[in-house]
Structure 1
Amino acid sequence: MGQPVIIQIENIYYPILAIVGVPANLATILVLSRGSCGLSKCITSYLVAMAMADLLVLIFTVILYEINDAYFPYSFLNYTPICSLNLSLGFASIDCSVWLTVAFTFDRFVAICCQRFRSKYCTKETAAVVIAVVSGLSILESVPIYFIYEPRQIIDNVPWSCCVISRFYTSSIWVTYSWLETVLTPLAPFVFILLLNALTIRHIVLANRVRRELRANNNAENHSDPEIENRRKSIFLLLAISASFILLWMVTFVSYIFLLFDDIQFLQANYNDPFTLMEQSGYMLSMLSTCTNTFIYAVSQSKFRAELILITKRPLGLITYLFKKVKWLH
């Protein structure tokens, strides 16, 4: 009997995601770290941290778990203690990526809507503290995940692969932890991002309306307002990142709502169950969010595009030079 269709799709999907996502995030980290994109140090710190978290998700979850499990089922990475560690680090990376998106959204909310607090909060130093706290809490939150797995099979007294322990669904401690984990990621971030964006958009619309009325009363000439244009650029980057997160996490969000209010178990392998198919599809889409930000920056930021082209040309030029040198020697 062949593999379920969803598994066949995953076996193709995850390698493509890794091939695209890893170079994209590495390029993003390199370009933004140069500090030549015209973004503030505060924004740059958040975007670099988000790219690093996304890269770790791709490494631990997509490459070392999904791809390894599909194509190298008996590699040393599938030894149960290593598999459990890898899964816990993967969950920590996902939590970190999600909450850094929330932190970035809150930072932009403060910058746009809270003028008096902006100068104190929207700094590189504050961003570094927030990133460190989010990273530390994400790791602590994911430590118990290491203990929810047991060997899927034992071969020659060696435990292989990982499956969820049965008491995870019945023990009051594990059920409570599952609820907390579900609320913390992705339910709370989803709500926070929607709320903060709604408040930010409302503030910008009202501020732009007041500014237009003032310019009209002052008989200002009918040409573009630089202040409004700057606001549009800053809000486009924020909304593009937030919208990408919301769309790609929507299916996962819905599946977790079902999980909270219905008698459903997650992390199951019953591929005839509609909930399992929805859960797996949502998981695949959420993984896609690890490589979309690079393309958002490339579309919305002309200086990012220029820097990206610049760092791309240099290695290509070096490869061309070495190729010509080798060809000349022969």
Structure 2
Amino acid sequence: MEKNRIDVTQVKRLDVETRGSAKVMIDWPNVTVSSHQELGLKPEELQKSKCVLGFIPVIYYSILLCVGVPVNILTAVALSRLACRTKKALYYYLLAVTGSDILSQLFIIFVGFLLETAVFHRDVPALLLHSVSAAEFAANHASIWSTVPLTVDRYVALCHPLLHRQISYPARARKIILVVLALSLASGVPFFWWSDMWRNSHPPTALDTVLIWTHVTIIYFLPCSIFLVLNSLIIHSLRVRQKQQPCQEEHRVKPLPLRRLGKTTAMLLAITSVFSVLWAPRTVVVIYHLYVSSVHRDWRVHLAYDLSNMLAMLNTAVNFFLYCFVSKPFCSVVRDIVLLRGGPPYPRCALPQQQAPNNASMTSLYSGNNKRSQRESTPLSPRRARKPS
């Protein structure tokens, strides 16, 4: 009996020493110290959920923050100039997307991943931890849902141009952006009670299930469904217009500049497609964590969750390069900003009395130019060309 007691005491001491050394080895501890369930776990099971990547996420997020924030600020300045010059609602929606990306980088990458996880190892007050979590979700929702009004605006502009002239103007765009930001802020409040996947070893509760499904619906399934439907309608409308183009050429009617519309559509498709691809792995891993295996218990799920978060946060820094690749006006404005030039003057911004109405569309300008060019290129009839005696 005494020998058995000595063996049990030695096993407990070895267990405590092993858990202490494991805590030193883990760079980002995600194991709660005071938990009765951990006393039944073996030391090798505690090692499963350690951060396999080590300091790679810290380096990655630091580079992403140092590149993404200046690039997004440059994008915001360039879009502000374009919005002032052209008075188009499109640039206001893009400006809202850029501002939301900056908020996501500050709250999620800087505060969430770098400060809380890497610096403080989540040893912060619970109230602060939950408050930052709610702010992260609000910024994330704003970053994604700011793209939805942009998609709707492009759909109306291409498929219903007459309606677009009436409803699309900067004042209404600003109101829509404010409503989206307010709803995004309100949608982040329930996630104050979001469970910490890195530290909680207990199975997900009913509240965790509701919050996780609400999160993946708001963050991925619902916006991707809207993008898929509207982008499909836009592509179908462009194909129908391209088929009608030969008929218009036969009747000597010059079509709308499909090239310009195609660039805007390509930019929209690129933004939504990049979002859908980069956020898909994180959505799958979160659902897998809910029903199959937790991040706390399985190091492979921990690794997959790290990599999926890194891919998802990359979405906040790629829009600048998409704009430069697609839009020549954006590139010229960025060049003017970098070279500290004010850019060419625009009379529409300088003289209010010469401004076009807010709800005027670019298609009307093109149609007017086309009619004027046709009148100039068409020869006069003999009756009109005859000079008065």
Which TM class, normalised by the smaller chain length? 0.7 to 0.9
**1:238–1:212: structure 2 CA closer, same or farther, 3 Å change rule?**
farther
- Deviation per CA, 1:231-287, whole angstroms, max 9, x where unpaired? 21221221121222122223234435656xx72366x344523x4433332221111
* Alpha carbons 1:100, 1:131 under 8 Å: kept: yes
**Match of 1:263, as an amino acid?**
Y
Distance 1:148-1:246 versus aligned 2 partners, 3 A rule: closer
261, 265, 268: which one pairs with 1:231?
A: 261
Out of 54, 64, 76, which is 2:111 matched to? 64
Task: State whether residues 285 and 304 of structure 2, in contact with CA within 8 Å, keep that contact through their aligned partners in structure 1.
Answer: yes
Q: Does 1:114 align with 2:160?
A: yes
Deviations 1:110-130 (A, max 9, x none): 111123431233222222222
1:40 is displaced (CA, Å) by: 4.7
Confirm or deny: 8 A CA contact 2:52 2:299 kept in the other structure.
no
Length-normalised TM-score, structure 1: 0.79
Q: Is the 8 A contact 1:37 1:303 kept in 2?
A: no
Map of 1:173-192 to 2, 5 A cutoff? 173-192=207-226
CA contact (8 A) 2:83 2:91 kept: no
CA 301–272 in structure 1, closer or farther in 2 if over 3 Å, else same: same
Aligned with residue 228 of structure 2, among 194, 199, 202? 194
Mapped to 2, the partners of 1:45 and 1:204 lie a distance apart of 24
Contact 2:93 2:150 in 1 (8 A): yes
Q: Work out whether 1:49 is the aligned partner of 2:96.
A: yes
The code of the aligned residue for 2:100 comes to: A
Contact 1:187 1:253 in 2 (8 A): no
Aligned partners of 2:55 and 2:93: how far apart in 1?
Answer: 36
* Selected match of 1:210 from 244, 247, 252: 244
Residue in 1 aligned with 2:66? 19
Q: What are the within-5 Å matches in structure 2 for residues 145-160 of structure 1?
A: 145-148=191-194
Q: How many Å apart are 1:212 and its aligned residue?
A: 2.5
Give the residue type in structure 1 aligned to 2:150.
F
Residues 174 and 271 of structure 1, relative CA distance in 2, 3 Å threshold: closer
**Pairs within 5 Å for 1:114-133:** 114-133=160-179
Whichever residue aligns with residue 298 of structure 1, its letter is C
1:67-78 matched pairs, under 5 angstroms:
67-73=114-120, 78=124
User: Which of 292, 308, 312 is the equivalent residue of 1:264?
Assistant: 292
Counterpart of 1:6 in 2: which secondary structure?
Answer: coil
Q: Which residue of 2 aligns with 1:310?
A: 336
Equivalent residue letter for 2:82 = G
Paired with 1:140 and 1:166, the residues of 2 have a C-alpha distance of 28
Deviations 1:3-33 (Å, cap 9, x if unpaired)?
Answer: 5333432121100100110001111111111
Query: Residue 72 of structure 2 contacts residue 102 of structure 2 at CA under 8 Å; is this kept in 1?
Result: yes
| SS of residue in 1 equivalent to 2:340 | helix
Once the two structures are TM-superposed, the CA of residue 226 in structure 1 deviates from its matched residue by 5.6
Paired with 1:149 and 1:256, the residues of 2 have a C-alpha distance of: 12
Other-structure match for 1:320: none
Same amino acid, percent of matched pairs: 25
Distance 1:122 1:166 in 2: 50
SS where residue 5 of structure 1 aligns?
coil
One-letter code aligned to 2:57: E
More helix, by proportion: 1
Q: In structure 1, give the amino acid aligned to 2:139.
A: S
Letter in 2 for 1:272: W
Is the 8 Å Cα contact of residues 11 and 70 (structure 1) preserved in structure 2?
no
Distance 1:71 1:178, change over 3 A: closer
Q: Secondary structure at the match of 1:78?
A: coil
**Matched AA of 2:133:** L
Letter in 2 for 1:314: L
The amino acid of 1:34's aligned partner reads R
* Equivalent residue number for residue 84 of structure 1: 130
State whether structure 2 residue 223 is matched by structure 1 residue 170: no
Larger radius of gyration: 2
Measured in 2, the distance between the counterparts of 1:80 and 1:303 equals: 48
The aligned amino acid for 1:85 is S
